[in-house]
């Protein structure tokens, strides 16, 4: 099928251009914060009825969430995906308008901001990471839809009927790998986590939900990487199929397994 006629620019006000990608980031953050506030209000979901922060504290923390995601996401892209180019032109590091963000870096930046904040206030850090895990799939879903609108990060050539002919991707249809990721890392993972938080009361086991997220994200990302083309300047790292995305997902997978083991062996409900 042909690529839908969607302008990556949502609107422009004079010289100021607002892209769907930027709006997706903002919407993901604020919808995630809104959902997190709803979870925090349900004290019965949390261990001993004690959530890691109040809804008002989460709202006040939104600024640091934005900074953590943007700084971490950009630095992650610089370090993991194109360090030599940025070393040759350090000024390009701050050129966010040219694109280039890493989910792994953004997740690390957000996690660090949350850990420091909760540690300083003496709250349960693992419960804070659980809160982040509950909300992150919302941003992932919107971000991957924005990748599709930008006609970037598409997949290899396919004969499947839902293949898309992307601008710049040649004349043959390709896997819409952005939508695969949005579906698995976003919608499906959100529903899985929702099941654990509300049907299995998993937030009463600090670290468990963060572990579910880590495993779910890593497995989904590694699976989709088999269909998604790697960045052109990196290519495959080995074997004709190993990508940087796969490699960066392995520590997240290991951390997810470790968090679930910890939560199961250190129950405090």
Confidence of residue 96 (pLDDT cuts 50, 70, 90): low
| C-beta atoms surrounding 266 within 10 Å | 11
Which range is least confidently modeled, 25-29, 30-34, 181-185, 195-199?
25-29
Whether pLDDT at 72 is above 90: no
Q: What is the pLDDT of residues 16-60, one digit of tens each?
A: 888 888 899 889 999 999 999 999 999 999 999 999 999 999 998
Query: Does residue 91 carry a pLDDT above 90?
Result: no
pTM (2 d.p.):
0.89
User: With contact defined as beta carbons under 8 Å apart, do 211 and 197 qualify?
Assistant: no
Query: Whats the size of the chain, residue-wise?
Result: 269
Q: Let me know: does 117 contact 135? Beta carbons within 8 Å.
A: no
Contact status, residue 118 vs residue 40, Cβ threshold 8 Å:
no
User: Is the pLDDT assigned to residue 142 strictly greater than 50?
Assistant: yes
The chain-wide mean pLDDT, for the chain, equals 90
150-171 CB burial, b ≥16 within 10 A, e <16: bbbbbbeebeeeebbebeebee
SS3 176: coil
| 144 annotated as a binding-site residue | yes
Is the pLDDT assigned to residue 220 strictly greater than 60? Answer: yes
């Amino acid at each position: 099928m042909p690529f839908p006629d969607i302008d990556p620019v949502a609107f422009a006000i004079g010289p100021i251009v607002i892209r769907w990608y930027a709006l997706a980031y903002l919407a993901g953050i604020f919808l995630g914060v809104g959902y997190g506030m709803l979870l925090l209000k349900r004290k019965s979901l949390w261990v001993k009825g004690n959530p890691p922060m109040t809804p008002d504290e989460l709202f006040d923390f939104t600024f640091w969430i934005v900074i953590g995601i943007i700084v971490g996401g950009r630095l992650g892209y610089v370090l993991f995906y194109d360090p030599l180019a940025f070393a040759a032109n350090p000024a390009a590091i701050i050129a966010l308008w040219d694109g280039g963000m890493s989910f792994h870096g953004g997740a690390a930046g957000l996690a660090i901001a949350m850990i420091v904040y909760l540690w300083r206030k003496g709250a349960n850090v693992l419960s804070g990471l659980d809160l982040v895990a509950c909300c992150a799939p919302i941003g992932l879903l919107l971000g991957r839809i924005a990748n599709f609108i930008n006609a970037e990060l598409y997949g290899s050539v396919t004969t499947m009927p839902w293949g898309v002919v992307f601008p710049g991707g040649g004349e043959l249809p390709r896997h819409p790998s952005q939508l695969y990721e949005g579906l698995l890392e976003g919608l499906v993972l959100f529903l899985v986590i929702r099941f654990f938080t509300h049907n299995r009361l998993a937030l009463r086991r600090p670290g468990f939900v963060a572990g579910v997220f880590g495993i779910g994200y890593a497995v989904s990302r590694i699976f989709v990487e088999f269909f998604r083309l790697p960045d052109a300047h990196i290519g495959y790292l080995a074997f004709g199929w190993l990508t940087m995305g796969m490699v960066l997902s392995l520590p997240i997978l290991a951390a997810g397994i470790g968090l679930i083991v910890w939560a199961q062996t250190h129950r405090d409900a």
